[in-house]
Each structure stands twice: as C-alpha cells, then as structure tokens.
Structure 1
Amino acid sequence: MTGSPVTTENVDPLAGVRAPGDPACDVYLTGTVFLDIIFTGLDSAPVRGTESWARGMGSSPGGVANMATALARLGLRTSLAAAFGDDKYGEYCWETLERGEGIDLSLSRTVPGWHSPVTVSMAYEGERTMVSHGHEAPVSEALPGPPPARSCVASLRAGAPQEWIAAAARAGSRVFADTGWDDTGAWDLAALPDLAHCEAFLPNAAEAMRYTRTDNPRAAARALTEIVPLAVVTMGAEGAYAADGRTGETAEVPAILVEALDTTGAGDVFVAGFVTGTLAGWPLGDRLALAGLTAALSVQEFGGSLSAPGWDEVAAWWRRVRDLTPADGRLAASLDRYGFLSGLLPEPAHPWPRRRAVPTLGFRALP
C-alpha cells in the first residue's frame, strides 16, 4: 500500500531520528500568551496630540505563542503550558493555537475572571514601538510541570530562576535558552543559574558581549562555552555565529538581506529554526542557515506568530533561488549554502511569496 505523498504541509524534519519509545512531545515551552495587535506602514512614530493611520494591521496570539507557532510550523510536535484569559481574546488565542497551528494545549488552563494580556505593536522606519497591558495570572492557577519531551525552550530572566528548567533537564530534555535585556545593568552570568541546565544559549550580540565583557560577538560566543555547551550569537545584518565547546567547532552564516516589514518575533523564529536543525542532527552550519533563513522570511510579514514561516514558505523561497542563474545576483550564491534543503523539501504547494497575515480576530463563517 502506498503512503500519503510528502507535501510541504506534512514535512517531518525529525523523521530520520524518530524511534519507538521516544517522547510524544518534541518541544515544550511555557510562558505568557498575549493578544498582539500590530500596525505597520506608519510613516513615522506617532506624534502626541495627533492621529496616525497605518496601511497594514494584523492580530494574532503573541508572547510565548510566537515561539510555539514558529516551532509547530516547522513540523515539531509542540506542547505549550500557559494561562489563557477568560475572555474573547483568550478564546481566540486558544482556538488559533490549538486548531489553527496544531499545538498541544493539554497543559494550559483558562483562568476564570482573568483577562488576556494585550500588546499593541507599531512598526515604522525599520523600528517598532510596543504598548502592553496585563496582570499576572493568579498564583492558585499553577500549571503542571513539563512532560517528557525531546527538548524545551526557555527564556531566562536575570535573578529569576525557573524550577521547571532543572526538572526538564533531569528528565532528559535538551534545553535551549534565550534571554532578554538585563534592566538591572549588572550583566552577571551568575544571575542566570539556569544556564547550568541548558544545552544551548542563544543571546543577541549586545547581550552576549555585555555578559562576557568582550568586544566582539565571536569572542563572546567562545567565552559563553565555558558556561554552556553550545553558544549561538545573533548579529543582525551580519548573520549569526556559533561555537560548540564540546567539539571546538565553530560556524558562521551571513544574514539573508531582505527588506524588513516588521521584526516582531524574528528572534523566536531564529531559535525555532535552530532547535529544529539540532533535533534533526544537522551539521552546525546547516542549523544556523535554517535559523537565519526562517528569520529572514519572517520579517517580510508583519506580526509575531503571523509571520512565522512553515516549510511551504521555505520551499517556495528555495525554488525561487534555484531558478536564478548566476547572473541574477546575490540570491544565486545561496545555492551552495542552502543545498541541504534539496533532500528535505518537496515542491511547494504555493508560489513565492505566501502571505498569512489577516487584519482581524476572525471572520464569521459564511453560510
């Protein structure tokens, strides 16, 4: 009997490494889900006392949902533990993530009487400004601990250790972590004790250099391998650099230069791409390449979870690059660096580019 044909909608990047007895979950994460409302196409920052009109708008689950969506769209079996507001915003976010993206929400909870956190993001001149509102979910609504999983993704906060990270690592999960800006200004790695339980740490260049007191991101990555086995430092338009302290291997991949519409969630997409390649057992350079490619595709769309590319977008981009001749310019040079995609991707179902964004919370079903 012939199986179903492989399409970009059912690519399993871990097909070659799955075995009987493996955890049902590929990646677990927890955090706060926001409702994101994104305005793009602003000519400048809003001016006090005036009204600004945006040429584009999108609505989507945000916060930790950005990372969860990015992972799920790359074919990873994703489990999210989060509190959801007991309102229409929370209902929309839950339905979008569970039914629309196939994310397992069995460890999540709807909190009675608690409203969803909201973020309004405004993108202009390559920058973004955000306004958020929300309250902590009631402590009594504690979420379950992490399930058996191949991996976990954590966002580290200075001075705020998270017990679940150590528990996940003890259970055999590979923990990938990023971090945010240290508002205390201390930039002390000792304030990130959960790094001891992580396999990989993926800060941006500014964060990495401050934490390591180095003057360039490559030196920062190498210094971080004294704390965590694998360090990946994102360098914006310069690309990304990774150092593996266990093997001494390093890799660097330049960024794909694109016109950015909105950078919201690009860091989450990068991490998702790197996690996918790592779990699949790819070489370090290929992992960086996929992470950078998916991040580049994401900034050409607006929103966080709205913009996360799936294999359909990756395949459409790859077909476009393959069709270029050397005379067609910069993208033709990608044939060598991204050749590993040929063995993974079938023909895309949709032409390049594919757009996902919608401007509203959801349309009524037509009769």
Structure 2
Amino acid sequence: MTPQHEPPTRSTLDPLAQRRAPADPVRDVYLTGTVFLDIIFTGLDSAPVRGTESWASGLGSSPGGVANMATALARLGLRTSLAAAFGDDMYGEYCWETLERGEGIDLSRSRTVPGWHSPVTVSMAYEGERTMVSHGHEAPLPAAEPAAECVPKARSAVASLVPGRPQEWIAKSAGQGSLIFADTGWDESGRWELSALPDLAHCEAFLPNAAEALRYTGAADPRAAAHALAERVPVAVVTMGADGAYGVDARTGETAHVPAIAVEALDPTGAGDVFMAGFVTGTLAGWPLADRLALAGLTASLSVQEFGGSLSAPGWAEIAAWWHGVRTLAPAAAPPGPEAAALLARYAFLDAVLPGPGAPWPRRRAVPTLGFRG
C-alpha cells in the first residue's frame, strides 16, 4: 500500500471528510512499536492453577501489540501508517498480510527482519481480566526503532511514553506539525516523576489510567489528577475503567466525565488502544471534549465483547448498528429507564455523524488457527 491509497472499503465513513484540504498530509496518524502475534484463550472458569490443566471454551489469534492501535485507527477511517519490525516467519507474514491487505494500513515504513522470529503473547481471559505470557527478542537495530529522519508527516501520532527514555521520533513528529497523543506504562522504577517523561512536553493529549495518574500527580482522586496533568499538556484524560473517563481541555476550559457503557466482557485485550483510537478520531474531527470521550468509551466497550485486541476493534458500521439498536429498543421501554435515557442523550451527536441506520457488520473475527485465514 502506498500513502496515497484510499482507506479500506471496510470503513463506511471518513470522519475527516469535511476537514481535508489539498495541502494536508496524506496520513492521518503515524505510530511505531512492536507487533506481536496474540493467541487468546477465553471462557476460562478461573486463573490457571499450578500443576493442573485448564480448558478454555474459546480460542483466537490476531496481530497484537502496536497492531491493536493501528487496526482500531484504520477501522475508524483514519489513514494510518505503522513503522514496525516483522519476523520473517509465518507469524510475521500473517501479521503483515492482515494489517496491510486486510486493514489497509500503510506499512511502507515497516521492515521484515531476516532470521528474527515474531514476538508472541498468549492471553488468558477470565472474570473480566486477563493474564498474559509473552516471548520475544529485541529486533536488531536499526529495524527496532525507525530513525527520526524517516518519520513521515501526519496529522497526528500516537506514542507510549517510557520513563527515563526519550524517543527522538516524537520530537521530530511534533516539529513537523503532528498532534501527539500519548499514554504510558507502569513505572517499574517506582519513582513516578513527570520529569522522567520529557516527551510529555511535545504532547497534545496525555491519557493515563487512574492508577498511573494518581501516582504521577499525588492527587487525591482521578479528577484532581486530570486537572494537575492539564497544567502540563493541553488535554489530559484519565481513564477509570468501569467508572468511565474524565477529561480536561486546558485551552477551552472544557471538562467532561463520560460513564462507561456496561457490557459483558469476553476479552479486554487492547481496550485501552481502542479507547485511544476513538479519542484521536474525535479530536482530529474537531468534536467537543465530551463527544470525544463518548466515542472512545463506546468503541472500547464494543471491542471487549469480541476476541483479540486488533480484530475486535469496531468500525463505523458496527457503531451505527449499536446506535440503531439503542434508538430502537430504548423507547420501547415506555418510558425508557434512566440508563437508556442517558445513553440516548449522551450519544445523540451520532445522528449527525453516521450516514444512516447500520446493519450488522460481518466483521472478520479472530479464528482458532492460522490455517483458517483465507
């Protein structure tokens, strides 16, 4: 795929259609990282117990790692470019083919590394949580991290900040005009100092979870943490799991709390990546903060009901099908209950976004073995 390639036909809506201009970058979002092959077990009654054999009722496989984010972005209609190393084994071939041909992701900055095997993660989902076991080796340089001078121009970029490790490409991307959206992982050093995240200075938005935000700011609660982080970045969002997400836009003064949508989770793998993709999409489309948080929460809720972190990511057709269902079923309660009424009010903005009532989307789901990949 070349950068000028149109988004895949799977996306029925271009959320940036009204904002595109001839001089704009051909890419909407750029990201880099490690692609894993994910093997997912679901339907476990409990965590595996030492010395015993556990049986799972569900099994799937899909590209994972940074592929979760890239797929979620592409399925929302964003022209997505990924720079990553791929093994030259069957796993690497499967991941490359799935992302480039299946999802329409630009891999022109990616590389296949001879003699390097693909990283693999086995994920076991139970009781709404997951346990993962991973194996892999660092890709040989320079394939592991693309040189900063090779970073393409894009409307935005998504990064994962690592304490104590500046990433040159982030500054380069921001200097070219990209809006940087970032999250971070657990600080293994235990210091939890914002000064250890120098790339935060280049970010448009920072989206940590509540545990991370509280430790970095020392705040008493997630909302206070979001306000403290908004003193460092233009937009701060703290995700709170079942309690939804709270955001602060320091430029406009907007604040918003959007509750999570209650669903029965099959596999929570990649839900945070899907949330980020929804927030990036709403931001690039110029939506109010509350609508950005609502789309992010909705896409994450839809994703956890399916296998895998990448192939479970929803697109506009599935969002339209969900909204059509809410609008059809909620009024039938006569009158709708408070939860249904809140959904109708909170997601009314979708009427102006979606092209029309959605039909069920026959999404390609993760399958038990690579032999079924057609």
Name the TM tier (shorter chain). Answer: over 0.9
How far did residue 353 of structure 1 move? Answer: 9.0
How far did residue 323 of structure 1 move? Answer: 0.2
1:74 to 73, 76, 85: 76
1:143 to 123, 135, 146: 146
- Provide Cα deviations, 1:149-198, integer angstroms capped at 9, x if missing partner: 00000001111110000000011000000011111111000000000000
2:272 maps to 1:267:
yes
Q: How many pairs were matched up?
A: 359
The answer on whether the counterparts of 1:157 and 1:192 sit within 8 Å (CA) in structure 2 is yes
How far did residue 359 of structure 1 move? Answer: 2.0
- SS of equivalent residue, structure 1 residue 26: strand
TM-score (norm 2): 0.93
The answer on whether the counterparts of 2:29 and 2:78 sit within 8 Å (CA) in structure 1 is yes
- Residue matched to 1:351: 360
CA distance in 2, matches of 1:354, 1:258: 19
Alignment of 1:112-127 (within 5 A): 112-127=114-129
Alignment of 1:238-253 (within 5 A): 238-253=243-258
The residue type paired with residue 248 of structure 1 is G
CA distance in 2, matches of 1:78, 1:182: 29
2:42 maps to 1:47:
no
CA distance in 2, matches of 1:197, 1:91: 34
- Provide Cα deviations, 1:49-94, integer angstroms capped at 9, x if missing partner: 2111110011000000000000000000000000000100000000
How far did residue 296 of structure 1 move? Answer: 0.6
2:350 to 338, 341, 349: 341
CA distance in 1, matches of 2:77, 2:330: 31
The residue type paired with residue 300 of structure 1 is Q
2:14 to 3, 7, 12: 12
CA distance in 1, matches of 2:266, 2:192: 31
The residue type paired with residue 217 of structure 1 is P
Does the C-alpha gap of structure 1 residues 251 and 114 become closer, same or farther in structure 2, counting only changes over 3 Å?
same
Gaps of 5+ in 1: 1-6
2:109 maps to 1:107:
yes
- Residue matched to 2:286: 281
- Provide Cα deviations, 1:231-276, integer angstroms capped at 9, x if missing partner: 0011111111101112222111111111111111000000000000
Identity across aligned pairs (percent)?
79
CA distance in 1, matches of 2:46, 2:315: 31
How far did residue 126 of structure 1 move? Answer: 1.4
How far did residue 16 of structure 1 move? Answer: 0.9
Gaps of 5+ in 2: 1-8
Which stretch of structure 1 is more off in the superposition, 191-200 or 333-342?
333-342
The answer on whether the counterparts of 1:11 and 1:345 sit within 8 Å (CA) in structure 2 is yes
CA distance in 2, matches of 1:65, 1:9: 17
- Residue matched to 1:3: none
Does the C-alpha gap of structure 1 residues 266 and 364 become closer, same or farther in structure 2, counting only changes over 3 Å?
closer
- Residue matched to 2:196: 191
CA distance in 1, matches of 2:132, 2:105: 26
CA distance in 2, matches of 1:363, 1:352: 20
CA distance in 1, matches of 2:323, 2:43: 28
2:230 maps to 1:228:
no
The residue type paired with residue 131 of structure 1 is V
How far did residue 349 of structure 1 move? Answer: 5.5
TM-score (norm 1): 0.94
Q: Which stretches of structure 1, 4 residues or more, deviate above 3 A after TM superposition?
A: 347-350, 352-355
Does the C-alpha gap of structure 1 residues 215 and 346 become closer, same or farther in structure 2, counting only changes over 3 Å?
same
- Provide Cα deviations, 1:76-133, integer angstroms capped at 9, x if missing partner: 0000000000100000000000000000000000001000000000001112100000
Does the C-alpha gap of structure 1 residues 348 and 40 become closer, same or farther in structure 2, counting only changes over 3 Å?
farther
CA distance in 1, matches of 2:199, 2:366: 36
